[in-house]
Amino acid sequence: DAPLLQVDDLHVRFRVRGQDVRAVNGLSYTLAEGETVAILGESGSGKSVAAQAVMGILDTPPARVERGSVRLRGVELLGLPERRRRAYRADRIAMIFQDALTALNPVFTVGDQLREMYRVHRGLGRRAARDRAVELMERVRIPSAARRLGDHPHQFSGGMRQRIMIAMALALEPDVLIADEPTTALDVTVQAQIMRLLAGLQDELTMGMVLITHDLGVVAGVADRIVVMYAGSVAEQSPARDLYARPAHPYTRGLLASVPRLDRRGGPLVPIAGAPPDPAALPPGCPFHPRCPRAEAVCAVERPPLVTVAPGHDAACHFAAEVHAEQEVPGAGSV
């Protein structure tokens, strides 16, 4: 059986001011039904561009997929005619974004927008479409759903708007949901509620979810596997538990040391020094070397390949095996 979603060796390039920018440089992952893969990275790491490529909504030009493959249950999506691609987007792969206000139409009521999905894509009549819209709003736990159908997006709080965007994305029960920084604009308590809602809906619908975030805190307890991206490339990929317990890349170590963890009290938080590189001017060798506390001479010269340190656990570091072999991160492994 073909996997639900298989992304293979994805390369995306931009052409900016006459310059080639490699935004995504060889990303591969597989997503099974009901599974969550988190794509973790700072802004500019290529994680959102990669998601847009998978979704088929890259702005072209200047962005284009240079090579690679995106297969949904074995069907290659790259290069599909736009009309067929759109059908997949409506039905099979859905996406939610950081900012619900840009995803929702400000002019129409949320009821209109939800009903429209069912009328256009499912051919339901007015009455049936309205009933489904109410069900959907209840499913994402909008209080007094029926009464709020007539409200416009701006009449809802940020958290409630995010729920409505989730409702729109899930209306046609997609197989795959791509969530790009779904909680970044929200305050911390609302973030947790939205993540719980997403996890619950994912269970109910046995969807696969690709969760794109810069925030390791959002990923904990939700992701089955984690892909860490840095400067357009995969730095490390691993089952979530192994990544937390025994990261094999100094960048991942840095990320883990820089976020508060419920399971690891005490211990100061140490931010990673420096900033990610300009994607148009990547340093030679390992792209992380200017910030890496472990860098040696070879790192500035030779680009490290992805090496496997444990089953399903790869890292792109010349010293991945050593980093991985070091003692477990204290208190980790319970996420």
**CB nearer ligand SF4, residue 250 or residue 277:** 250
The answer to whether residue 52 forms part of the interface with Mg ion (CB under 5 A) is no
Size of the site for ligand SF4 (CB under 6 A): 13
Question: In the bound complex, what is the minimum distance in angstroms from residue 286's beta carbon to ligand SF4?
Answer: 3
Burial class from Cβ neighbours inside 10 Å (0-12, 13-18, 19+) for residue 12 reads buried
Beta pairing, strands 176-180 & 93-96: parallel
Query: How far is the C-alpha of 42 from the C-alpha of 219, rounded, in Å?
Result: 14
The answer to whether residue 295 forms part of the interface with ligand SF4 (CB under 6 A) is yes
Binding-site string for ligand SF4 from residue 257 to residue 286, where x marks contact by CB under 6 A and - marks none: -----------------------------x
- Spatial neighbors of 281 by CB under 8 A, at least 6 apart, are none
The answer to whether residue 292 forms part of the interface with ligand SF4 (CB under 6 A) is yes
Binding-site string for ligand SF4 from residue 216 to residue 255, where x marks contact by CB under 6 A and - marks none: ---------------------------------xx-----
**CB nearer ligand SF4, residue 204 or residue 278:** 278
The interface partner of residue 48, options being ligand SF4, Mg ion, none and the CB cut-off 5 to 8 Å by kind, is Mg ion
137 half-sphere exposure, CB direction, 13 A CA radius: 25
Pick the closest to residue 230 from 66, 43, 9 (CA basis). Answer: 43
Task: Dump the DSSP string for 161-224.
Answer: HHHHHHHHHHTT--SEEEEESTTTTS-HHHHHHHHHHHHHHHHHHT-EEEEEES-HHHHTTT-S
Question: In the bound complex, what is the minimum distance in angstroms from residue 330's beta carbon to ligand SF4?
Answer: 21
Q: Which stretch binds ligand SF4 (CB under 6 A): 124-132, 143-151, 200-208, 293-301?
A: 293-301
Q: How far apart are the first and last CA of the chain?
A: 31
Question: In the bound complex, what is the minimum distance in angstroms from residue 233's beta carbon to ligand SF4?
Answer: 11
The count of other CB atoms within 10 Å of the CB of residue 319 is: 21
Task: Dump the DSSP string for 7-67.
Answer: EEEEEEEEEETTEEEEEEEEEEEEE-TT-EEEEE--TTSSHHHHHHHHHT---TTT-EEEE
List the one residue from 25, 36, 48, 113 that touches Mg ion (CB under 5 A): 48
Question: In the bound complex, what is the minimum distance in angstroms from residue 317's beta carbon to ligand SF4?
Answer: 3
Binding-site string for ligand SF4 from residue 312 to residue 331, where x marks contact by CB under 6 A and - marks none: -----xxx------------
The interface partner of residue 289, options being Mg ion, ligand SF4, none and the CB cut-off 5 to 8 Å by kind, is ligand SF4
The answer to whether residue 164 forms part of the interface with ligand SF4 (CB under 6 A) is no
Contact residues toward Mg ion (CB under 5 A) are 48
Contact residues toward ligand SF4 (CB under 6 A) are 249-250, 286, 288-289, 292, 294-295, 299, 304, 317-319
